[in-house]
Structure 1
Amino acid sequence: MIGHLILRLSIWFLLTSDLSLINIIIGVIIALVLPRGYTSRAKLTEWLKVLIQVMIAIPVAFKEAFEIILYPHNREEIIREKVKHKHSSLLVFMDIFLITFTPKTIVINHNEEGFYEVHKINPEGK
């Protein structure tokens, strides 16, 4: 509870850039009135795996961006990928973010059956 309040107040102060008394009162009221979202208890090991995937995705994204610049990518396809984290909506979001973060792929749909539809571009001849 206190952690959520501090986080929301921090965001409020960063957005408003005003530490006057009235702004602090407004920020506290807004932080208390905003509904708290449902949080799932994802395992720490799953979060560590996602963090490692994020660290790997950054250089891959730069590599793919240069490949798109240097070589034509005229072939495109839509593939289906299985959802890795069905029980945590935040981990599903992170999975979609990782797929979309790389320049050659973007998630265009999330099926309730447990699949992503991913638009992917490929270089000519692959």
Structure 2
Amino acid sequence: MILSLILRLTIWFLLTSDLSLINIIIGVSIALLLPQTKPEKESLRQWIQILGHLLMAIPQAYKEAVEIMIFPHAYEGLTLQKIEQKRSRYLIFLDIFLITFTPKTIVLKYNKKGWFTIHRILRKKTP
């Protein structure tokens, strides 16, 4: 329950980019009013690992945004990325969020067999 609340508030604050008192109250209210699902078994190690990836994704997103502005990115590509088996829905959502958070990538499809289809913009054409 606590991790779910933290996840919802984190997403709320990332989407709104506002830490004012009224926005915090709205975020907590929405996080509490959203339906709760039965808890899934996730290890603390997985949560710490994904939060570490989130902290690394923020500077990477700024770096990619500057690259897009300075250098032309005229090509596109699709890639497949495998994810760990037996990930909870929350962790899969955070994986998708992290991939889509950076400006050069977006998840197009999640395959229940453990694959993401990712669209990327590229500077150079790949063979």
**Cα-Cα RMSD:** 2.8
Provide the identity percentage.
39
Tell me if the contact between 2:85 and 2:114 (Cα under 8 Å) persists in the aligned partners.
no
Moved over 3 A (4+): none
Tell me the residue number matched to 1:14: 25
Residue 76 of structure 1 aligns to a residue in which SS? strand
- When structure 1 is superposed on structure 2, of 69-78 and 116-125 the one drifting more is 116-125
Residue 57 of structure 1 aligns to a residue in which SS? helix
Residue 99 of structure 2 aligns to a residue in which SS? helix
Q: CA deviation at 1:85?
A: 5.4
1:71 aligns with 2:85: no
Tell me if the contact between 1:85 and 1:91 (Cα under 8 Å) persists in the aligned partners.
no
Larger C-alpha radius of gyration, 1 or 2?
Answer: 1
Structure 2, gaps ≥5 residues long:
7-23
1:42 aligns with 2:53: no
Structure 1, gaps ≥5 residues long:
8-12, 16-26
- What do the CA deviations read for 1:59-111 (whole angstroms, capped 9, x no partner)? 00000000000000011001000123533110000000000000000000001
TM-score (norm 1): 0.71
Tell me if the contact between 1:85 and 1:92 (Cα under 8 Å) persists in the aligned partners.
no
- The residue type equivalent to 1:49 in the other structure is Q
Structure 1 residues 97 and 54 mapped into 2: Cα distance closer, same or farther (>3 Å)? same
TM-score (norm 2): 0.70
Residue 63 of structure 2 aligns to a residue in which SS? helix
